[in-house]
Structure formats: structure tokens, C-alpha cells
Amino acid sequence: MHHDLKTVKMKAAITYGIIAPILIATAVADNIPTGQLLLNARQTAGGSIPIVSWDVQYPTDPKIDEQNQLIASEDSLLEVRAIGSNYWNGENQIQLKINTEKREQLIFSGLSKEFVTTEEPLFSTTVAAGQKINFGMMGLSEESGSYFRWTNTPLDNPDHSFAVLRNGDEFPAVTPMARNGQVTNYLHPYIDKETGRVSIGPADVLFVVELDRRFTFEQSGDPADKGYDMLDMVFLVSFK
């Protein structure tokens, strides 16, 4: 976390006996600066203007390398959350793995319609500064080949069929959001209504994934590839 120490003058009358010797206010929320407000009441006379210390902690901002791999900028808590899936109308199996250089783990296996946002993350772990985080995504169908497509796949490999998006990014041209402004229900909370761009926290990264197709229709000319829309699996990765 980054730390700034700001001193703020607050015009307020403090009376002994009303507050505790140390007043501590803590702000906690996802993906916004957090910290503590510290005030020593014993050093503040009634009717005077106290000096308040505000220790602000900013969320970490992950790096994305040239292969679209995530790299932790600092020691952080990493959380992965399911957002949604349109894979085969929700009736086919999908799977998601994570590799944090420590070990490879399966963090979701189930029907596409079960890949939904819940109160608790799919997975959380601590990561060290400089640690690479990769994901393996697979859809189980006759058209997918039923193998994991990993996020460290070279960019020129057709299995690199995903995009990694930050706050303010445009959605890929193959997505319905970019083609005609049509927004899938589960993505509404993550899209700015005015700009149509990605709307997430500064320490969040949104993955949009194609699980079946390897080429777009423009690349192959095959009408079947018109289904390449990168909405087979969508998940959010947060660093805290």
C-alpha cells in the first residue's frame, strides 16, 4: 500500500470528558483510499482548533505485461470474483484455474449459469511484489477442444482469446458492448452509462474471455465464428 500523511485543520470545539483520550475513525471500502483519523483529546483545549492526522492508504495498482499477465506491484491480498457467463446458454460446464507461481489451483468448476457474483470471492490469497498471476479458462463443448487457455499464452496464438481491462478502458471490438451498445445484464455494474467504458476500481482488473472460438469472423470468414464475443466467462481480480 502507498501511504500519505496529511495534516488537516478542523474547526470544531472539543470538550474534555465527552470524547475518549484518543479518537480514531477508520474508513474502509473496496478499491478506494482507506486509513485512520487520529486525534489526541488530552492535547486539545476546549474551544481550540485541533490538528488531526489522516493516514491514507491507497489500493495497489497491478501491472499488466506485454503478454497480458498480471504482476503484483506490492505485497497484496488478491481476490477473484465471478461476474457472469453466457456459455451455451448456461447449460455447459466451465472451469477456471489460477497459478500464482506457488501452485496451480482449480477455483471454479460447474455450469455456466452457476458462475455468478456472490458475497464471498471465488478465491483469495496473498501475493508478493513482482509475483506473476495467471489464469486458465476452459469450456467443455465439442467446439472448445476442452483444454485450458492460459493467460500467459503468446499474443499471436489464437488461444489468447481474452482481454484484460482496467478502469476507463474500452471493451474489445468483438463484444456486443462495442459492436452495438448491447450490455449483458451481469455487466451493467461494471460499465459507465455515459461513456460505455469499463467502470471498476483502480486496483481491479476485468477479464472477458472467449472459450470456444479461436478466430473472429473477420479473421476466418467462417459464419460460425460470429459467436466470438468474449462473454463466455467474465471475472474480476482485485488487489487490496
Across the chain, which has 240 residues, the per-10-residue mean pLDDT values are 40 37 43 50 57 55 88 95 95 96 93 96 96 97 92 95 96 91 91 95 96 95 94 96
Fold of the domain spanning 63-239: Jelly Rolls (2.60.120)
Residues 196-224 as b/e (b if ≥16 CB within 10 A, e otherwise) read ebbbbbbbbbbbbbbbbbbebeeeeeeee
User: Cβ atoms within 10 A of the Cβ of 176, count?
Assistant: 16
State pTM to two decimals. Answer: 0.76
pLDDT recorded at residue 145: 85
What cell does 193 get?
Answer: 452509462
pLDDT recorded at residue 181: 82
User: Cβ atoms within 10 A of the Cβ of 75, count?
Assistant: 14
Sequence-distant (6+) residues with CB within 8 A of 7 are 51, 52, 53, 54
Q: Break the chain into its structural domains and give their ranges.
A: 2-58, 63-239
pLDDT recorded at residue 20: 43
pLDDT recorded at residue 67: 85
pLDDT recorded at residue 151: 96
